[in-house]
Structure 1
């Protein structure tokens, strides 16, 4: 069977565990054609009606990948999490067929190093990244939080009570708190880019960026 993916928006996802199937579904909703691959026939049958293309194949075998037309995909994600051996062999096989962008899920630092050494271009730690994000949300007033580096984050926070009714020009948040307000969403309205004349209304939600500690302190203002 061949499932050629010559379009730039086509992506293959290998492994239909929890992470893989959620990823495949999210990519589909973003408008991409997704080829989902799993060697478990039950998983393939279970998700065949939900995803664009679902096929049963052993992705550790280079021959099977070529038969699927994987060599024509620009981006392939190895979402296998239950078997380190299978994920490593799959990345190696993808590298052998010449996939330009191989993304792979790692379960440990050692696993990540092995994946990179055999050909993965991008390695992700979904469990660790989700855990960090949820931890920040639990212990703060932030509504959402994304960490981009060891000391930089963007967060969605309600307007701190002491700042209600005041324009950004007057507040000098960068100097006082080390954060920059990127956007604001008044209650019942859409997000809009913030400027120096933006007034922080009660009930508004802000998008702020800055150092992690600074963002946390800003969100905690009372």
Structure 2
């Protein structure tokens, strides 16, 4: 997979290193010449350019990328890059960093954003996930709530403890992707019995989160 990362600060370089380690082709686009340091991320293609300019993105051949990550420290720049990537270059997936949480409401499909990543929101969700039992916790949203990655830890008094997954009437547009049980990661199967303390990971539509909590807790959300 070919990935373009706009912004070669600490965040952009860290993402690039992870992706290169996973075997992907990475292009780093950075406006500031002092941040263009090829030795900092060996194996990445470096382009010094203003990614808010269409001509610069054309020269960088952005249309050949499968994913664009807008990772600058400027929300305005990240939104412009996202919009250009989606509308001018038809990039399949656009991920954008939210610098200021107050601007998160802008990161929508209207601006070309498929996934918005806000560090404060992610950290808060991880804290909730670690301490909350019996409540649905949203870990991440995709396409502004069209699909969410959510988690719920089963309480001891849930009516489904000891019951097989096939017995649980999951809401529409809800897919159980994994069960975390102690140190084990379990691939869900219809015959798998549920246990108290199981962490269930779902991909689901945001509209049915409340319904899921009602089903798994056995009480109104």
Structure 1: distance between partners of 2:47 and 2:138:
36
Q: Please tell me whether the aligned partners of residues 44 and 56 of structure 1 are also in contact (alpha carbons under 8 angstroms).
A: yes
TM-score by length of 2: 0.60
Match of 1:212 in 2: 209
- 2:86–2:112 contact (8 Å) kept in structure 1: no
Matches within 5 A, 1:45-56: 45=37, 48-49=40-41, 52-56=44-48
CA shift for structure 1 position 35: 0.5
Match of 2:164 in 1: 168
1:99 to 89, 96, 117: 89
What is the rounded CA distance, in whole Å, between the counterparts of 1:57 and 1:83 in structure 2? 18
Of 24, 27, 30, the match for 2:16: 24
Could you tell me how far 1:132 is from its partner in structure 2?
5.8
Aligned partners of 2:72 and 2:139: how far apart in 1?
Answer: 24
**Separation in 1, partners of 2:131, 2:189:** 27
Alpha-carbon RMSD:
4.6
Alignment-derived partner of residue 140 in structure 1: 132
Looking at structure 1, the residues matched to 64 and 147 of structure 2 have their Cα atoms a distance apart, in angstroms, of 38
In structure 2, stretches of 5+ residues that fail to align are none
**2:28 is the alignment partner of 1:36:** yes
Q: How does the TM-score come out when normalised to structure 1? A: 0.60
What residue in structure 1 maps to residue 194 of structure 2?
Answer: 200
| 1:19 positional shift | 4.5
**Structure with the greater alpha carbon radius of gyration:** 1
In 1: Cα distance, 2:45 partner to 2:183 partner:
39
Could you list the runs of 4 or more consecutive aligned residues of structure 1 that deviate by over 6 angstroms after TM superposition?
Answer: none
Per-residue deviation, 1:143: 11
CA distance in 2, matches of 1:150, 1:23: 25
Count of aligned residue pairs for this structure pair: 201
Structure 1 segments unaligned to the other structure (5+ residues): 1-8
Q: Label 1:109 to 1:166 Cα distance change in 2 as closer, same or farther (>3 A).
A: closer
User: What does 1:79-98 align with in structure 2 at a 5 Å threshold?
Assistant: 79-82=71-74, 84=76, 86-87=77-78, 90=81, 98=88
Cα deviation 1:20-42 (Å, max 9, x = unaligned):
34443444344321111112234
CA distance in 2, matches of 1:156, 1:14: 34
Query: Matched residues in 2 for 1:103 and 1:162: separation?
Result: 41
- 2: CA distance, partners of 1:208 / 1:88: 29
C-alpha change, 1:209 and 1:110, in structure 2 (3 Å) is closer
